[in-house]
Amino acid sequence: MNKTLWNNTEVSPVIEAPGEDLYKDIFHELSGEEYNEAIRLAGERVSRFLKNNKKPFSGIKPVALRKMVEEIDLATPLQDYKRLFDEVDALYVHHATAYHLPGYIAHLNCPVVIPALAAEVLISAINSSQDTYDQSAGGTFMERKLIAWTGEQIGFLRDCDGIFTAGGSQSNLMGLLLARDYFALEHLNWNIKLDGNPPDAGKFRVFVSEKAHFSNQKNASIMGLGEQAIVPVETDSRYRMDPDELQKAILREKDRGNIPIAITATAGTTDFGNIDPLSEIARIAREHQLWLHVDAAYGCGLLLTDKYRHLLKGIEQADSVTIDYHKSFFQPISSSAFIVRNKLHLNIIKHHADYLNPKEQDYDELPAQINKSIIQSTRRFDALKLWFTLRYLGREKLGQYTEAIVETAKQTAEELDRDPDFELLCHSDMGALVFRYVKGAKPSEFCTLNQHIKKSLFFSGEVLLASTKVNGVFYLKFTIFNPLTTIPHIQDILTKIKQQGNEHLQLNRVSSAGGTN
């Protein structure tokens, strides 16, 4: 056990090996052998996951997997790491969704880059917390440099600032919170942080595309404004916010006696991958003195490519921006950021605690990232993953991955347009394509047919598609988010969709014919 040897003025801790290896499982200077063995076995299982997975999902039914998990007795520890990994293989790894395979084309889950995975080992083992300098040291300045770098990519000047967050929904919450509190301070002389929502808060209105992320409604509810505060704005033929409709919506709410406070524009809608006209929206925001937040959780990857960067023109005029590195920068979950154009706006959310970040502390000498966070005190050093990635791969290579995705999506849209068996709803700025299979079916059968296709392919494990509803109508959705996915892969997936659709229609025809005999 620990002993202290007193030698006049020196105190020297001496670590003795504890009896029966009582503390061998705790990460400390005597547990290196134990740690290395555990990490070696974990690496073996990851390698097997890559080698053995030929399709993105095992196809296991939820009832079977639930039964396996429920049968585990958590009160009885396993005897060694092999048994532990075997159990987790059976419950999780063998059935985990393999995002890196071309047959996975469903949601906004990217394949991850290996430098970031290497960083995860350091992050988890050293276990720094990013809230104060004395818990993170170099990590504080590395995170700040990456925030400044991201701001530079957006087009912000040196006065920008921000913080890494757990995800886009949290970053969007920060954007809406700053918009509300800034408006109250600037226009109502009311400090919401101290006094709560003002009497007129029920009249606050935030304008978003009707295709914007659902976190807008959830965040308005969390903040006590209610979902009523979110005003959906009509979109154009490509499901992007229509600036003329935005202008009308703002004037309409003012005529009703309500109080516009902010606009949230979307750079990459979840369903369609399209980007709102940011420059025009920024002009309207300035005209009405509204906070402009841009949700670029999806579209932020375009910042990395010179070829498609123009699609984000106007983002540099935003007051705040959401960035999801774990979507478009190929980072492991979680890795997101919230960036503001004017760093002084972050003072709105600062709160001092004597034991953590006291008022009298010199924050130029001892910076504290917690001053910029709203719901995370203890916070992982997720920025290290992006640091590893940029320092090893560089911006240009990441940009090439994004370009490959955009170009594959364009070619896929052309394939769908040429094929009369499919109906493509619209083209995409990024990689999300909404479509349905229509061959041989009556319009009244389209929804049921495509629902069957998605479900049958999912439980075959061969292809994982997403889906959505547009005006109440069911559609399939490709989310092309893997630079390794090629047009031959897409063509193979389309063939499988046709096969499932045709089989379903034939079975229905036979069943209907049998029922009339």
Mean pLDDT of all residues in 26-32: 89
pLDDT tens figures, 132-157: 777 777 888 899 999 999 999 999 99
Q: Which of 41, 19, 43 is nearest to 30 (CA)?
A: 19
List Cα–Cα distances, 397 to 102, 331, 404, 466, in angstroms. Answer: 20, 14, 11, 28
Q: Which two tokens stand for residue 29?
A: 């200077």
Packing angle, helices 487-516 and 395-418, rounded to 10:
40
Check: CB of residue 337 under 8 Å from CB of residue 104.
no
- C-alpha to C-alpha distance for 278 and 311, rounded to whole angstroms: 9
Count of CB atoms within 10 A of residue 211's CB?
22
- C-alpha to C-alpha distance for 517 and 513, rounded to whole angstroms: 7
- C-alpha to C-alpha distance for 320 and 178, rounded to whole angstroms: 9
Check: CB of residue 387 under 8 Å from CB of residue 119.
yes
Q: Could you identify the residue written with the tokens 């005597």? A: 30
pLDDT tens figures, 125-137: 988 887 777 777 7
Instruction: Identify the pLDDT of residue 18.
Output: 53
pLDDT tens figures, 75-92: 999 999 999 999 999 999
Domains and CATH numbers, the chain: 2-98 (1.20.1650), 129-393 (3.40.640.10), 397-516 (3.90.1150.10)
* The Cα angle at residue 318 between residues 399 and 345, in degrees rounded to 5: 115
**pLDDT bucket at 294, cuts 50 / 70 / 90:** very high
Question: What SS3 class is residue 238?
Answer: coil
> Could you tell me how far CA 471 lies from the centroid of its own chain?
25
Check: CB of residue 428 under 8 Å from CB of residue 441.
no
pLDDT tens figures, 202-219: 999 999 999 999 999 999
| Residue 3 reports pLDDT greater than 50 | no
Question: What is the pTM for the complete model shown?
Answer: 0.92
Instruction: Identify the pLDDT of residue 135.
Output: 78
Q: Which of 381, 382, 406 is nearest to 274 (CA)?
A: 406
List Cα–Cα distances, 408 to 324, 329, 337, 500, in angstroms. Answer: 21, 17, 27, 24
